[in-house]
Structure 1
């Protein structure tokens, strides 16, 4: 009979080429083979160190052997070796991957050995536990090339399992610790080789401690067993420290959503080993409601430093596609809910869904975050350089600590086989090594628990640490990571279509339009408060704004119609309230007050349906469209000062505006005082836009459908000849000059979009092209009917409005959070504008909220109209020619200019006026906010210079720099402020500002977003 021993057959020639890329099932069998080999009963039975051996060179079968064959090694074995070995009395564990099943088979080797000894006439009686109290014998090492030990010098007694009852909680707990030792031993050995080192564990001393600990565990002597286990783990730590002598870290990241079992979180919160929780405030609120006591436990553990909570927004909306104010709304709402739920808010930002942009560092720092996860847990394109800790620099220069290493899935066995290679990468490349293990609360992976069990002995593979402590305790990296906007691209559109959600494109179009409407409404109410020297009402409209932001997350987008109605009512109410203040004390004739919530002068089209006589063309009125036969179409072009108003009279006896010398619309041609627009007779789209004093054609447009691949299309009048194209053909069936009046020209074309290869109609279209006098813009309205809906990949199957320009060297930029940013590749996202600019010319395409676009070639871009799931059939575009600031062009079209009929007028202050004025058009005002108490205490060095914020009435103005320019800005106000400061989004002072008369001097950096708080002395 052979001496008892344990051998693990591995599918490699040594640990140097140990296979670490396996499926979960194969990886589980391989990892568990080493874990169960360290079970205390098996260690005590064999009296020697478990050994690995090449699977293609298995041992000679014999009685008393235990051979573990991971499933991945089965193909390496000689034919029928397993059957032959079992016939020879060898216990073979094969075909299994689950740990408990493998252990159950392995422990039968002890029983089989006892039977064999009894058959040989040896003493098989009950063996007292004291027999295992002697130190383990020295085990000579041999077969170093294959990791095999020689026969032991002396035979240890055999443990007879039927005479020893080991099924106790204490023994099971200790046995789990021993199996954790087996897992850690394997991972340390592989990590050693990944770090280009030789194995340096003193196996003789290591096994002596392990063997002695196994005997103590059988005797249920916890203190002794744990002391020996501690010695073993410390030897593994010493082995690791020989090639990486500083600390490395493990970050246990638990993902929590209401749909996943969350009861384990209560017990996890009571554990001493640190971990971190990633959740939105809404998700955690729902989890706490169904898990009694969880909020209290999390709060206690968080305050004690045992856990960190990562989060940010209240809900994970599609960040890259949101307007800035929507993002800030979700961050502030999340912060408030966190404080209400657990008494504090996260300082490390993180989310499961894609949400990375290069403008985030500034927004996060000013929202109170100290660090961020620069990593995506679902999908998307972003900079793939992995660092445990980096200094993430935003486009404005703001720095924030971040973690960018892709997490390992803690539930999958394959992750633990890759663990050594991933840790070695971090040790080689990072100034501080670490890995994230991401999991759900109800994790069952035994290797995850093995790593956590190792922590009470020695952090041989890394110390578990929470994210808060990790960023606090580790040093700052020397390098800064500056990532460009073109390195980020979200998977949002594909995800919407894959989930078969309604309106994957139009939900963002509608949300952007409603958000601009809400911002205008909020401005009217806040401006009224400011003019009356009252605190801005923070409670106003909260319910409507909440519904607006929540609607975007509604997969059916079912609340939009009622929301539009409520927003319009709120807007009218705010406009009337502000108008009463402006018109106070006015006398005279009836008229209309036009309000401008934006900070730049605008020319807006004001509809005046039903009036009998148009106002005179003077002052703010620049053009009038009036036709007595169609009074419902009466409108005028009004110039309104930024953040101000313009009043126009309802004249009773004004002369009718004269028709222009040339008609604004005639057959296939539109014109105004800036340019002419030619309509393509074949397609019905725009053939060209050309300035009157230029021959160059600036832009053309047509509708089409893009197919996934090129198709061969027969060439008309050339039999047998074909051409290739991915696009359908727009065919015009007719046109109509709808308006050619005093201020507006309008042509409607109608036709169909045809699949030329199959002669199939894909959709019917009706396109309206309109121009106004004095406005350098072309308005386009599109309606599709009888649509054959696209299917599949939305980036390759879509209806689109295609735009083309003549200059192939022109630079194309788009907006991210209202700031101009470039992009690379073909696909990009923006809801504000697409600007095409050369040295002498600029052209801005305003997609009216359409967010998804594709550049095709050097001088063409597609704006996606319809993909699978979209139900809306009407779309708008505006082309602005030579607009100096594209965001002005975009917001001018999307932001309403509320019109209030007045019984008297003009206002006492004049027909036009402003409340706030910025001297730089690249800076935009986005919102009026209430004042806040400064929460920043002065440092010891500043305490004699620090000026406290006065408690006078006032308000704050949010500004954003949009063009990447760093320069001073003057902000003028309707009253002279007595105090001004620059603050962050939480109300903390960034700097105090100098005041000159009614102007505040502000130094803004490129793409900076900041709140300027103004205080005014008591009236």
Structure 2
């Protein structure tokens, strides 16, 4: 009644009506529209480009890379703590995490007014601290692996991720030949280098040692070269390189005809340009790319690499806007295609960074292919032309899957229904070297992206060799679509060692997951951020089991006997 009395004097509270009147009066209004995270676009690209507060593209990519390195160290530290309690917990990891959080917060605020070079220096200091922390953690982990004194040297390969991985590396030239090891899948000589392909167990290690004999057999050089003319090939596909643009014309799998992807570097004008072709006016938004030369860097049998030298020209004046080198590399056994781009000369773009930029353009055949992006470790759809995705962009139809990994660079723009621009240089961007990883037929793109962001750790050893097991697993998670986002050791007055794993379902599918550790798990529970128990998990034979819903995130605390 008080509201009605107030409304009778002045309609400051609106008009009092019944629900029926409200529905009648608002019937012509449009219904509420749902908005999801795929429609949100942050202001940070324009903010950093205009205000020059940080490098617009390489700064978030650098923070992304260092965060991935830090989580890799934290995982190795948690694994070592699960094997044996030590007086030292994870102070270095916690301190570095706080430093990275502060750096990310400074980047996202408008208060930072230091030169870009100063911020780059801080990022380099963080990288150096992470390297020092990695050396300390790996040394502690190696001390926990049973070993014995020896004059032999070796290489210990550590996998921070909780699933099995294949890895290729070059055996140190100053070492004698590696001794046979069941984890070595193949060995091949390329020039003076010996390339080894090893299978590293989940959250585990492979420890190789040198020997004075030649007991490790190397595969004989046979078959076609991996690089020939303007063609790269491996056991999966052939890559045809364009003689016009110096980019990728096609990637075709053996015994198939479908082109999976094309790529070249491009410059987008802020305003479209008009040029004359055969007495006809043609309007274009992009400058022209032209190859000047090419050469074979490696022809195999382990890796194949071709480098092209190219220019980008103004279509109306023929002015050189950029000169760059692009290297494309394939591994004999891997489905990944590595692309490295280095600008030697560049005319800096000026203007709206979403409208004018240098970018790597990707194209595919199927206009109806679905496109999802990877963000915060999960595969998500989106509807906008401009979008952010530091993890990956996946293009998939019923037959093929293409995975584009930008190595932490978050900004991309769709161009039509079957093309994508991945931004490299905008106004204010100082970086001149960039890398992409392309992959194909990956059923869990988030897992593939985690492999790229979290490299295998190689540690050279001396004066000791493994005593019993030369390889072994220490932490494993069975579900492919459940990713380890964070691992931490927990200091507790209770008996037993405790570690916390932040797990996330990444593909939008339900999953039944089991967690294995080298020592048996005695109890497991799902907790919240404050440590309160949300759910006690079933533990049988030292293995914890749990269920995940679509995109569900769980913080799991394990007690290890």
Q: TM-score, normalised by structure 1?
A: 0.50
Tell me which residue corresponds to 2:197.
637
Confirm or deny: 8 A CA contact 1:919 1:970 kept in the other structure: yes
Alignment partner of 1:597 out of 160, 185, 199: 160
Query: Given the alignment, which residue of 982, 987, 992 partners 2:536?
Result: 992
Cα drift, residue 903 of structure 1: 3.4
Aligned partners of 1:485 and 1:822 also within 8 Å: no
Q: CA deviation at 1:612?
A: 5.1
2:94 is the alignment partner of 1:542: yes
Q: Which residue number in structure 2 is paired with residue 852 of structure 1?
A: 411
Deviation at 1:818, TM superposition (A): 0.6
What does residue 977 of structure 1 align with? 521
Cα-to-partner distance string for 1:99-152 (whole Å, 9 max, x where unaligned): xxxxxxxxxxxxxxxxxxxxxxxxxxxxxxxxxxxxxxxxxxxxxxxxxxxxxx
Q: How far apart, in 2, do the equivalents of 1:890 and 1:843 lie?
A: 12
Query: What does residue range 772-783 of structure 1 map to in structure 2 within 5 Å?
Result: 772-783=331-342
Contact 2:290 2:311 in 1 (8 A): yes
User: Secondary structure at 1:808's aligned position in 2?
Assistant: coil
**Are 1:968 and 1:1004, in contact at CA under 8 Å, matched by a contact in 2?**
yes
Q: 2:292 aligns with which of 729, 733, 737?
A: 733
2:479–2:511 Cα contact (<8 Å) kept: no
Structure 1 unaligned runs (5+)?
A: 1-187, 202-235, 246-424, 430-478, 934-948
Which residue does the alignment assign to 1:1006?
Answer: 550
Per the alignment, residue 265 of structure 2 pairs with: 703
Take 2:495 and 2:195, find their aligned partners in 1: how far apart are those partners?
Answer: 47
Q: CA deviation at 1:906?
A: 6.0
1:670-714 Cα distance to aligned partner (Å, 9 max, x none): 111111111111111011111112111111110001112322122
Q: Which residue of 1 aligns with 2:8?
A: 200
- Offset of 1:542 from its aligned partner? 3.1
1:1015 aligned onto 2:559: yes
Contact 1:622 1:774 in 2 (8 A): no
Q: Are 2:367 and 1:808 equivalent residues in the alignment?
A: yes
How far residue 199 of structure 1 moved from its aligned partner, in angstroms, is 6.8
Deviation by residue 1:360-401 (Cα, 9 ceiling, x = unmatched): xxxxxxxxxxxxxxxxxxxxxxxxxxxxxxxxxxxxxxxxxx
Taking the aligned partners of 1:616 and 1:774, their CA distance within structure 2 comes to 22
Tell me if the contact between 2:243 and 2:291 (Cα under 8 Å) persists in the aligned partners. yes
Asked if residue 584 in structure 1 is aligned to residue 147 in structure 2, the reply is yes
Query: For the Cα contact (< 8 Å) 2:152–2:464, is it kept in 1?
Result: yes
For residues 905 and 696 of structure 1, what CA distance do their matches in structure 2 show? Answer: 51
What RMSD, in angstroms, separates the aligned Cα atoms of the two structures?
3.0
DSSP-derived class of the 1:494 partner:
helix
CA distance in 2, matches of 1:639, 1:784: 36
Secondary structure of 2:346 counterpart: coil
Question: What aligned pairs does 1:200-279 form with structure 2 within 5 A after superposition?
Answer: 200-201=8-9, 243=16
Task: Give matches, 1:634-673, under 5 Å.
Answer: 634-652=194-212, 653=214, 654-673=216-235
Partner Cα separation in structure 2 for residue 838 and residue 608 of structure 1: 40
Q: Distance in 1 between matches of 2:263 and 2:499?
A: 45
Report deviation, 1:589: 4.8
Could you give the per-residue CA deviations for residues 68-122 of structure 1, whole angstroms, max 9, x where no partner exists?
xxxxxxxxxxxxxxxxxxxxxxxxxxxxxxxxxxxxxxxxxxxxxxxxxxxxxxx
1:53-202 pair list within 5 angstroms = 200-201=8-9
Partner residue in 2 for 1:938:
none
Q: Does 1:925 align with 2:488?
A: no
Contact 1:865 1:875 in 2 (8 A): yes
Question: What is the match of residue 491 of structure 1?
Answer: 43
Change (3 A) 1:613 1:688: farther
Alignment map for 1:615-1014 (pairs within 5 Å)? 615=178, 619-624=182-187, 626-629=189-192, 631=193, 634-652=194-212, 653=214, 654-715=216-277, 718=278, 720-903=279-462, 907-908=466-467, 910-931=469-490, 951-1014=495-558
CA distance in 2, matches of 1:916, 1:579: 15
- SS of structure 2 residue aligned to 1:550: helix
In the alignment, structure 2 segments of 5+ residues that lack a partner are: none
Correspondence for 1:532: 84
Q: Whose helix proportion is higher, 1 or 2?
A: 1
Are the equivalent residues in 2 in contact too, given 1:690–1:698 (CA < 8 A)? Answer: yes
Answer whether contact 2:515 2:543 (CA < 8 A) is retained.
yes
Q: d(CA) in 2 for partners of 1:885 and 1:650?
A: 36
1:240–1:774 distance in 2 versus 1, CA, 3 Å: closer
Q: Distance in 2 between matches of 1:627 and 1:649?
A: 20
Deviation at 1:657, TM superposition (A): 4.0
* Distance of 1:242 and 1:860 partners within structure 2: 52
Q: Which has the larger radius of gyration?
A: 1
Alignment correspondent of 1:562 = 125
1:587: how far off?
6.8
SS at match of 1:930: strand
Q: Does 1:514 align with 2:63?
A: no
In 2, Cα distance between equivalents of 1:735 and 1:931? 54
Output the CA distance in 2 between the equivalents of 1:764 and 1:880.
27
CA distance in 2, matches of 1:816, 1:970: 25
Counterpart-to-counterpart distance in 2, 1:712 and 1:660: 52
| Residue 483 of structure 1, CA deviation | 4.0
Is 1:572–1:898's contact at 8 Å kept on the other side of the alignment?
no
Cα distance change, pair 707–624 in 1 and its aligned pair in 2 (3 A):
farther
Give the alignment's TM-score, normalised by structure 2.
0.89
String of CA shifts for 1:731-763, please: whole Å, max 9, x gaps: 110011011122110111001111112211111
1:192-234 CA deviation, whole Å, 9 max, x = no partner?
Answer: 9xxxx99723xxxxxxxxxxxxxxxxxxxxxxxxxxxxxxxxx
Cα deviation per residue 1:47-74 (whole Å; 9 max; x = unaligned)?
xxxxxxxxxxxxxxxxxxxxxxxxxxxx
Q: Contact conserved, 1:734 with 1:750, CA < 8 A, in 2?
A: yes
**Whose relative contact order is higher, 1 or 2, with alpha carbons under 8 Å and at least 6 apart?**
2
Which digits, 9 at most, give the CA deviation of each residue in 1:128-180, with x for residues without a partner?
xxxxxxxxxxxxxxxxxxxxxxxxxxxxxxxxxxxxxxxxxxxxxxxxxxxxx
